[in-house]
Chain A
C-alpha cells in the first residue's frame, strides 16, 4: 500500500448559516480518483479549501505528507498541487501562447531584477518554456491558435487551455473541476488517454465529473460526498450499487 497523496481530515467550512463542508474526511491515493456528489454537495468548496482559495474553519489538509492547511495558493502550487477552475479562467486579453507560457514554474525572467539585468539567462529559459508550451499546445490541438487572443477560443477550447496550462506547471497532483464538460468526444478520449498516461508517470488526479459512466470507466476509486460530508467511497463497481448513493445522487441503479 502506497502512502496517500492527499489526506483531508475533519475539514469544515461554513458560509454564514450554510455549512458547505461538515467535517469531511477524504484520502486520495496515487492514481485517478473520482469525486462525485449532487449539486451543492460541497465539491467546489472542497477544492477551494484544498487549493488555498478559501481557508477552512477547522480540520487539516496534508499533501504528500506535508501539512498545507491554510497555506496560500502559490505555496501550494509550488508543493506540486494545482487545480483547474470549473468555469475556465483564460486570460482573455493575452494570446493562447502567453496563457501557456505563464504556467511553467521557476522561470528566471519572472523575477524583476532578472528581467532587467539577466537577458541572456532568461532567454535560455524562455526558449525552453516556449518549446514545452508548443508541445502542450500541439497535444491539445491548440497549436494553430497560439497567436490568437484567448478570448477568441470556444468554450471547449477554453477547457483545454485551462488543462494545458495546469499541466505545464509540472504538478504532482491535479484537481480537475469538470474538465470534460463541453469537450467533443474524440478530444475527450484523447484527454483521458493523456490523463492515464500521466497517471502511469506518477501523477495523481482528483476528478469532479457528472458523467457517471466516465467516472466508472476511468477512475480507480470513487468518493461520494453529500451535504458536506463523505457519503461513501470505494471502487466504482461498489459505489454504483450503494443504495445511499443511488438515493442521493444517481437516482436509479445503472
Chain B
C-alpha cells in the first residue's frame, strides 16, 4: 500500500474518532460527566444507520431490517444521498435515545458511580447485540453497508493529465496551506509550543516525504505520489478521486460540522451553564438552573455525535460486528481527549490525531525490524501512548492545548459591541491602563474570524496561540 493510501486511511480514522472524541468532550470536558460507556452510542449509531440504509433480505442476515432508505428516496434527485443522511440522523437519534434511557437513572449518581454504571451498561448493550441474533445478526454482524454516492466514484474529470492537475493540484494546495499555517503558528508561538509544532511538522515531513525515499526504486515517482495524495492513478481508466479519498473528505466534513456545532453550543450562555455544572453543580442550582436537565442534554448531544461517528466508522470498515465496540474504544477516546486538551474542541482533534498517528502511523517501523517482532512492536505502541499520557498528566494535566477560550459572539457585533464595550472599557481603563483594552480588541476579532473559517486544523494553531 502506498503511503498516500495509508495517509488517507489514517486521516479518515482521525476524522471519525475526532467526531467521537468531540462527543465525549461535551460530556466529560465541558459538563464533567465521566461516561465510560461512550462506545455504546458509537455502536448504536453504527448499527442503526447500517440497518435503516441497507436493502431488505440480505442473505446471511437474520436481524431487523433493512429498510433501504436510500433506495426508497432514489426517485428524487440526490435522494439516495438524502436517504443515507436521513439514516445517519436516525442513527444519531437512536444513540441519543439509548443514552436518555441510561442517563435518567444514572445521572443522579455521584460522578464516580456514574462512570462505573456507564461502563456496565455499555458492556451489557454489547453483550445483548452479540447474543441476540434476531436484533442485529449477533456475532455474524452486518456485511452489507450502504456507501453514500458510491456510484459516482472513482471520479474522473477527463484525461489523466487533467485529473492529475486538478486532484494533484488540490493536494499540493492542502500541503501548502498546512505549511503556511504551521509557519505562521511557529512565528507567533513561543517556548514549548513552538518547539512542539516544529517537531511535529518536521516529524511528519520526515515520515511522509523522506522515509519512503529510502531504498525507493524511483524517488521522483514516490515523492510525486505522496505529494499528490488526493489523486489515485489506479482509480478508473484515467486515474482520479477514488471512493476512499472521497470518504476521507466526507468524514472531514462531518468532523468540521460536529466541530462547528460544538463550538456554537459551548460558546453560548448554555455552554456557560454546562461548565458551571462541571465546576460545582451546587452553584448553578443555587442560582436557579435545572442542572439535571443540562446534564441530560449534554449526554444526549454527546451520544448523538458518537452515533454519527459510528455511522461513518461502519462505512470505513465495511463490516460491523459487536466485538469492534469493546470498552477499549472509549478509553482510546479518553486518552485522546486528555492528551489534546480536556474542554478544548481543537485539542480533542489534535489529541485524536496524536493518538492515531502513534497507534497506526508508526506501523511503517515494522519494515525496519525483523517480522518476528511485530507483536512486540504493536504492544510497545500502547506502551508509548501510556508513557505520553503519564507525561502529559504529570507536566501538563490540562492537555497539550489546555482548556479553550470562550467567546459568546454577539451578532451585529461591531456596532453593538461598541455600545456595550464602550463604557466597560472606559471604566476599566482607569484602573488597568490602555494595555487591557488593546489586547481585548485584538483577541476579539481574531477568535471570531478563526471560527468563521472553520476547519479544526485552523483552530489548532489559533487556539494554541491565544492560550500562550
Contacts and interface: CB of A to CB of B under 8 A. Distances in A.
B411 interface: yes
B468 interface: no
A91 B286 contact: no
Contacts of B316: none
Nearest to B419: A127
Contacts of A78: 288
B336 to A, nearest CB: 21
Contact of A91 (B269, B276, B410, B419): B276
A199 to B, nearest CB: 21
B371 interface: no
Nearest to A146: B428
Given A93-B279, A144-B431, A107 B269 contact: yes
Contacts of B9: none
Contacts, number: 119
Contact of A102 (B273, B411, B419, B431): B273
Q: Which 7 A-B pairs have the closest CB atoms?
A: A77-B288, A109-B269, A115-B268, A115-B270, A123-B410, A144-B431, A91-B279
Interface of A: 51, 53, 73-74, 77-78, 82-83, 85, 89-94, 98, 101-103, 105, 107-112, 114-116, 119-120, 122-123, 125-127, 129-131, 134, 138, 143-144, 146-147, 165-166, 169
Contacts of B291: 74
Contacts of B414: none
B275 to A, nearest CB: 6
B116 interface: no
A178 to B, nearest CB: 16
B108 interface: no
A44 B427 CA distance: 38
B285 interface: yes
Given A91-B283, A123-B411, A138-B427, A115 B288 contact: no
B273 A110 contact: yes
B297 interface: yes
Nearest to A85: B286
Contact of B428 (A94, A105, A125, A144): A144
B290 interface: yes
Contacts of B440: 147
B56 interface: no
B265 interface: yes
A74 B275 contact: no
Contacts of B428: 143-144, 146
Interface in B239-289: 261, 264-265, 268-273, 275-276, 278-280, 282-289
B416 interface: yes
Given A93-B279, A110-B273, A144-B431, A122 B268 contact: yes
Contacts of B280: 89, 91
A130 B424 CA distance: 10
B364 interface: no
A115 B265 contact: yes
Contacts of A110: 269-270, 272-273, 289
B432 interface: yes
Contacts of B279: 91-94
Contacts of B261: 116
B276 A165 contact: no
B408 interface: yes
26 contacts: A73-B286, A74-B285, A77-B288, A78-B288, A82-B286, A82-B287, A102-B283, A103-B287, A105-B288, A109-B408, A110-B272, A110-B273, A112-B265, A114-B270, A115-B269, A116-B265, A120-B411, A122-B269, A126-B269, A126-B410, A127-B419, A129-B269, A143-B427, A143-B431, A144-B428, A166-B287
